[in-house]
Structure 1
Amino acid sequence: MDQQQRKRMAQLGQYAVQVARQEGLPAMLRRGAGFVRRRFFGRKARYLPAKKVLEAQRAEYEGKTRENCGLPTISILTPLYNTPPAYLRAFLDSFVGQTAPNGQLCLADASDADHPEVGRIVAEYQARCPRIRCRKVENKGIAANTNAAALLADGEYLALADHDDVLAPHAMYAMGQAILDLRAEGKPDGFLYSDEALFEKDIRRPLTAHFKPDFAPDYLLCCNYICHLAVFRRELYVGVGGERGEYDGSQDHDLFFRLAEAVGGAAHLPQVLYYWRVHSGSTSGGAAAKPYVTAAAKRAIEAHLARTGQQGQVEDGLFPSTYRVRWQIQGQPKVSVLIPNKDHTDDLEQCLHSLYARTLWENYEVIVIENNSQQPETFAYYKQAQRRYDGLRVVQYPGKGFNFSAINNFGRRYAAGSYLLLLNNDVEVTDGDWMTELLRQCARPGGGDICGAMLYYPDDTIQHAGVITGLGGYAGHSHKYKQRGGSGYMFRAATVQDLSAVTGACMLVKASVWDAVGGLDERFAVAFNDVDFCLRARDAGFRILWTPYAWLYHHESKSRGADDADPAKARRFAAEQQRLYDRHGRENILDDPYYNPSLTQDREDFSESADLKKLQSGQLKVRFRQ
């Protein structure tokens, strides 16, 4: 059993004791049995709504038509090309079997003369379901064929589906209801997307799900995480020019950029409404199946940058199907690096030496904030270091004890830069581009206001790849303890991310944003000060990003003792936990928009939750994000 597993077992044990004390032993045993049942015996059909939920939907719309059902009509656009009969029948069955009648299926059949069975099968289904329309077209590529299907549509909304995939039985109902919910909230209803799952033969035995974040524009620049099921207004589709043949292979990625630009964001419905079949030749199996996807995607990103007035060079990402924008930094902004320190001169020397020796960005200053050091050697080191390192300043924090927030707030008074860079004294710079990369994300029009870096432990496992609120009940580090070099969940350890928070161990923030938010809250002396700061900034409309292209080593020990080992520290930590809830609300902390309610909050590895009751009951609601 590794360290992470031992930690998890200890946490589960503590939770069991807490439940037993608060609710009694029978309640604890019931919850434990439920956990085991969900974790090990609830895998079949786990993303589908419960049978009673589907039956209730069918009963609600029994005898109704798309004209009088009360839900907006969604016309599904699907090009056909030599579709294998079994795949085609499965797809058509999934449409005919929808729980609500608000769908219309528009097919553009470009199959060649050697595959007449495609037309015959479609005609068979049309005889049973008049909501299926089909036209025979010349094969001019996926985008042109999709546009041809759109000419058949009369729905208020359109959706995209591939001919070899399967719709969830409640897809049309859920999307129709989501549109009504957005309207009731006064939110834009022009562009929505859902979660999806991969399968091989039977959607009741899915391989895995893609549980997505709410709309994340910088993440979309790095990969088409939206995919299926995407739904959008028909008039909007026409207004932006439909799909474009020059982007075939990444035509949907290109379309999603233009839709998001027009709407000002997108709405995410965290329900699995689409099943993506994995087989040879399908993009669900990876970009290697269709190499032209990469070139088309890079052109789509470049076109988006040009339309939105952003300047950057589009490059291949760290993995196939991912991309990087190397942004142009506006001007030559000065960065003020704030490093709190108490003794530990060996750590500080390693930090300073690596920073000055390797950092390629030249316009920076370093301010060491001396905090109640006890060793005379420390002050002798300061004098020596200020002679050795050009522009280094040491300022004396006047307070007593350790208060990370107060120390950095004090250091900010001495900072002349337009950017502040909080840096722990046990961080080591290895790659010289680190500060430049952080600036690329912030010192550009429309970029971030705060940016965090990838931090590795000395053994090349991840210490920090962004912060997810709600993990462990409060906040945790994305992909912590994962081995360096992996892509993470849906490439989320290898792409620039929109996030709710990043760690203060290495955080770049615009000085103007720091001042506008009021700096760090000094009532968070040790824990959650960075999380609270980022959440206040996020809620004020500022953007938080994380980049894997700025990476450093953090020499924090993986086996460092927990605060609960010391009663005084445990009380302080509990008080700071409670303050996080009091300020931001427990429900908000547990509902990170850049995570997903169907992912676990018990671990930091983006694994699937053992409890999918909200997904299976249809309780998860749509949310628009700019």
Structure 2
Amino acid sequence: MNEQQRKRIRELSRYAVTVAREEGLPAMAKRSAGFIKRRFFGKKARYLPDKKVLAAQRALYEGKTRADCGLPTISILTPLYNTPPVYLRAFLDSFVGQTAPNGQLCLADASDSAHPEVGEIVREYQAKNQQIVYKKIENQGIAQNTNAAAALADGEYLALADHDDVLAPHAMYEMGRAILDLRAAGQPDGFLYSDEALFEKDIRRPRAAHFKPDYAPDYLLCCNYICHLAVFRRELYEQIGGERPECNGSQDHDLFLRLIEKVGGAAHLPQVLYYWRVHAGSTSGGTDAKPYVAAAAKRALADHLARTGQKGEVTDGLFPSTYRVRWEVEGEPKVSVLIPNKDHTDDLEQCLHSLYARTLWENYEVIVIENNSEKPETFAYYKEAQRRYEGLRVVQYPGKGFNFSAINNFGRKYASGSYLLLLNNDVEITDGEWMTELVRQCARPRGGAICGAMLYYPDDTIQHAGVITGLGGYAGHSHKYKNRGGSGYMFRAATVQDFSAVTGACLLVKTSVWDAVGGLDERFAVAFNDVDFCLRVRDAGYRVIWTPYAWLYHHESKSRGSDEKDPIKERRFAAEQQRLYDQHGRDNILNDPYYNPSLTHDREDFSESADLKRLQSGELRVRYRAQ
């Protein structure tokens, strides 16, 4: 067992103790049993509601029609093209088997003359279900075929479904209820999406789920994470002219961007309402099956930027089906780099040398905040460093002891930049674009107030790829300890992301925003000061962004000792944990909008939760986020 594994076991042990203390031993035992069950036993039907939940829904709407059931009608748009009969029947069965009657199925059949069985099968089902509407059309491509299906719809809402996939049995009920919930809360109900799962033969034996975050605009610019099941107002679809043929291949991604421009955000229902079949030729099986997708996606993104007045170049991302916007930066704003230091001149020299030698962004200043160093050679080093590094300043923090928040608040007094860049003294810069990329994400219209970087351990494993609140009960780092070069869960280690927080080891923030929220909270002396700061910025209506295109090496924990063996430090850490709950609320911490309630809080690898009861009970409700 290596040190990283031992550290993770200690973290989980502390979390178990916290659960036992706050919720009791039975709760801790229940979570442990759920973890063992998920890890070592079958996963059959794990994303479907309990049978009694489905039965209750069916009983509620017994004898009802979509006209009198009280739920808004959702017309599902599905183009057909030479659909294999076994896939078509499975899809039609999933519509006919819905627990609520508020659905309409609109089928536009562009199959060629060699596949008359497609229409024959549909007419067979039409005889049993009057909510299936069918029309034979000429094949004009996926976008136009979808528009033809929309012309058959009479529902207040539309949804998209592929002809070879399967709807979850409660899809129409849950989406209808979600719309009513949004209306009751006075929130926009124009665009909603759910989670989804991949399957091969039987939805009761899914391969994996796509557990998505709540609406994340920067993530959507990098990939179409929304996919299925998407539901939107028919009047909005008609206002924007439906799907665009020029974006065939990424027509849904393009549609979602245009709808969100109208709505101003999107609502996420964190339930698995759609099953995406994996087979040769499907997009769920890999982008190599449809190589024209990338060109269409880049056009959709470029058009979105043009419509919204944003300036940037859309390029390929790090992986197929991902994209990058190289934002245009107006002017050359000044960045003030704040580096706390106590002795450890070897670390500091490595940091400063790499920063000055490799950073391509030119308009910056560096302020080293001297914090109670004890070695005479440290002060000799400062004098030498200020001679060697142009514009370097060393300022003397007047306080005693280590207080990360107070030290950086003090350093801010000497900063003259439009941006502050908090930087640990034990990081090493190897890529010249790092500061430029951080500035790109903030110095643009609708950009972030904060941007964080990818940090690697020296062994090329991930130390930080964004912070997720609730991990370990408080906060943790996305994809920690994963090998460099991977895409992560749903490309989340390889795309620009919206997060609730990023680490203060490398954090760029607009100086105006820093001042507006009062800087760092000095009652968080060591732990969670960055998390608290980012949450206050997020809750004030600003965005927190993380980018994989700014990356550094982090020689972590050299600037201060471990808290795990010192009783005084351990008590302080526990107090700061409690303060995080006190300041932001335990429920808020445990429900990060950019995570998913069906993902685990026990690890930092985006594994499924050991307890999916909230998913299986239908307890999870819709959540709206604005741009």
Normalising by structure 2, what TM-score? 0.98
Task: Read off the aligned partner of 1:68 and give its amino acid letter.
Answer: D
1:479 — aligned with what?
479
1:80 — aligned with what?
80
2:103 — aligned with what?
103
Would the alpha carbon gap of residues 575 and 263 (structure 1) be closer, same or farther in structure 2, given more than 3 Å must change? same
1:568 — aligned with what?
568
1:182 — aligned with what?
182
2:360 — aligned with what?
360
Would the alpha carbon gap of residues 57 and 521 (structure 1) be closer, same or farther in structure 2, given more than 3 Å must change? same
Secondary structure of 2:564's partner?
A: helix
Secondary structure of 2:177's partner?
A: helix
Task: Read off the aligned partner of 2:438 and give its amino acid letter.
Answer: L
1:234 — aligned with what?
234
Secondary structure of 2:89's partner?
A: helix
Would the alpha carbon gap of residues 344 and 23 (structure 1) be closer, same or farther in structure 2, given more than 3 Å must change? closer
CA distance in 2 between counterparts of 1:550 and 1:23 reads 40
Alignment of 1:203-352 (within 5 A): 203-352=203-352
CA distance in 2 between counterparts of 1:299 and 1:26 reads 54
2:156 — aligned with what?
156
CA distance in 2 between counterparts of 1:26 and 1:256 reads 44
Residue identity over aligned pairs, in percent, reads: 84
Counterpart check, 1:538 vs 2:548: no
Would the alpha carbon gap of residues 17 and 314 (structure 1) be closer, same or farther in structure 2, given more than 3 Å must change? closer
Counterpart check, 1:444 vs 2:463: no
Task: Read off the aligned partner of 1:475 and give its amino acid letter.
Answer: A
CA distance in 2 between counterparts of 1:536 and 1:362 reads 30
Deviations 1:598-619 (A, max 9, x none): 0001000111111100000000
Would the alpha carbon gap of residues 22 and 408 (structure 1) be closer, same or farther in structure 2, given more than 3 Å must change? closer
1:595 — aligned with what?
595
Task: Read off the aligned partner of 1:150 and give its amino acid letter.
Answer: A
CA distance in 2 between counterparts of 1:242 and 1:445 reads 27
Shift of 1:94: 0.2
8 A Cα contact 2:34 2:610, kept in partner: no
Would the alpha carbon gap of residues 547 and 13 (structure 1) be closer, same or farther in structure 2, given more than 3 Å must change? closer
Would the alpha carbon gap of residues 88 and 428 (structure 1) be closer, same or farther in structure 2, given more than 3 Å must change? same
Alignment of 1:375-524 (within 5 A): 375-524=375-524
Task: Read off the aligned partner of 1:203 and give its amino acid letter.
Answer: I
CA distance in 1 between counterparts of 2:344 and 2:455 reads 20
8 A Cα contact 1:367 1:392, kept in partner: yes
Shift of 1:8: 4.1
Shift of 1:4: 4.5
Shift of 1:33: 3.3
CA distance in 1 between counterparts of 2:560 and 2:607 reads 25
Greater displacement, 29-38 / 399-408: 29-38
Secondary structure of 1:569's partner?
A: helix
Secondary structure of 1:321's partner?
A: coil
Greater displacement, 372-381 / 26-35: 26-35
CA distance in 1 between counterparts of 2:405 and 2:23 reads 37
Task: Read off the aligned partner of 2:575 and give its amino acid letter.
Answer: A
Would the alpha carbon gap of residues 559 and 127 (structure 1) be closer, same or farther in structure 2, given more than 3 Å must change? farther
8 A Cα contact 1:427 1:552, kept in partner: yes
Secondary structure of 2:78's partner?
A: strand
Deviations 1:567-595 (A, max 9, x none): 10011001100100000000000000000
CA distance in 2 between counterparts of 1:487 and 1:454 reads 13
Shift of 1:30: 5.1
Deviations 1:424-474 (A, max 9, x none): 000111000000000100011111110000000000000000000000000
Alignment of 1:34-45 (within 5 A): 34-45=34-45
CA distance in 1 between counterparts of 2:412 and 2:487 reads 36
Secondary structure of 1:508's partner?
A: strand
8 A Cα contact 2:15 2:472, kept in partner: no
8 A Cα contact 1:457 1:558, kept in partner: no
Counterpart check, 1:90 vs 2:86: no
Deviations 1:98-144 (A, max 9, x none): 00000000000000000000000000000000000000000000000
Would the alpha carbon gap of residues 389 and 12 (structure 1) be closer, same or farther in structure 2, given more than 3 Å must change? closer
Shift of 1:286: 1.5
2:51 — aligned with what?
51
CA distance in 1 between counterparts of 2:91 and 2:22 reads 50
Can you give the 5+ residue segments of structure 2 that lack an aligned partner in the other structure? none
CA distance in 2 between counterparts of 1:24 and 1:218 reads 40
Shift of 1:330: 1.4
8 A Cα contact 2:46 2:616, kept in partner: yes
Task: Read off the aligned partner of 1:368 and give its amino acid letter.
Answer: V
Would the alpha carbon gap of residues 14 and 557 (structure 1) be closer, same or farther in structure 2, given more than 3 Å must change? closer
Shift of 1:565: 1.2
Would the alpha carbon gap of residues 172 and 23 (structure 1) be closer, same or farther in structure 2, given more than 3 Å must change? closer
Would the alpha carbon gap of residues 477 and 12 (structure 1) be closer, same or farther in structure 2, given more than 3 Å must change? closer
Shift of 1:230: 0.2
Task: Read off the aligned partner of 1:326 and give its amino acid letter.
Answer: R
Would the alpha carbon gap of residues 233 and 16 (structure 1) be closer, same or farther in structure 2, given more than 3 Å must change? closer
Secondary structure of 2:154's partner?
A: coil
Task: Read off the aligned partner of 1:201 and give its amino acid letter.
Answer: K
CA distance in 2 between counterparts of 1:605 and 1:169 reads 30
Would the alpha carbon gap of residues 14 and 91 (structure 1) be closer, same or farther in structure 2, given more than 3 Å must change? same
CA distance in 2 between counterparts of 1:75 and 1:497 reads 32
Task: Read off the aligned partner of 1:437 and give its amino acid letter.
Answer: E
Task: Read off the aligned partner of 1:220 and give its amino acid letter.
Answer: L
1:202 — aligned with what?
202
Task: Read off the aligned partner of 2:94 and give its amino acid letter.
Answer: S
Would the alpha carbon gap of residues 15 and 169 (structure 1) be closer, same or farther in structure 2, given more than 3 Å must change? same
Would the alpha carbon gap of residues 11 and 253 (structure 1) be closer, same or farther in structure 2, given more than 3 Å must change? same
Deviations 1:523-549 (A, max 9, x none): 000000000000000000011000000
Task: Read off the aligned partner of 1:130 and give its amino acid letter.
Answer: Q
Deviations 1:200-259 (A, max 9, x none): 000000000000000001100000000000000000000011001000000000000000
CA distance in 1 between counterparts of 2:359 and 2:4 reads 33
1:172 — aligned with what?
172
CA distance in 2 between counterparts of 1:179 and 1:134 reads 26
Deviations 1:280-332 (A, max 9, x none): 00000111110000000000000000000000000000000000000000111
Normalising by structure 1, what TM-score? 0.98
Would the alpha carbon gap of residues 221 and 443 (structure 1) be closer, same or farther in structure 2, given more than 3 Å must change? same
Shift of 1:6: 3.5
Would the alpha carbon gap of residues 128 and 562 (structure 1) be closer, same or farther in structure 2, given more than 3 Å must change? farther
Task: Read off the aligned partner of 2:268 and give its amino acid letter.
Answer: H
Secondary structure of 1:128's partner?
A: coil
Aligned residues: 626
Secondary structure of 1:446's partner?
A: coil
Deviations 1:57-78 (A, max 9, x none): 0000000000000000000000
8 A Cα contact 1:343 1:373, kept in partner: yes
Alignment of 1:124-135 (within 5 A): 124-135=124-135
CA distance in 1 between counterparts of 2:566 and 2:32 reads 29
8 A Cα contact 2:217 2:498, kept in partner: yes
CA distance in 2 between counterparts of 1:130 and 1:68 reads 15
Would the alpha carbon gap of residues 27 and 274 (structure 1) be closer, same or farther in structure 2, given more than 3 Å must change? closer
CA distance in 1 between counterparts of 2:441 and 2:177 reads 37
8 A Cα contact 1:450 1:510, kept in partner: yes
Secondary structure of 2:127's partner?
A: helix
Greater displacement, 32-41 / 295-304: 32-41
8 A Cα contact 1:178 1:269, kept in partner: yes
Shift of 1:42: 4.7
2:550 — aligned with what?
550
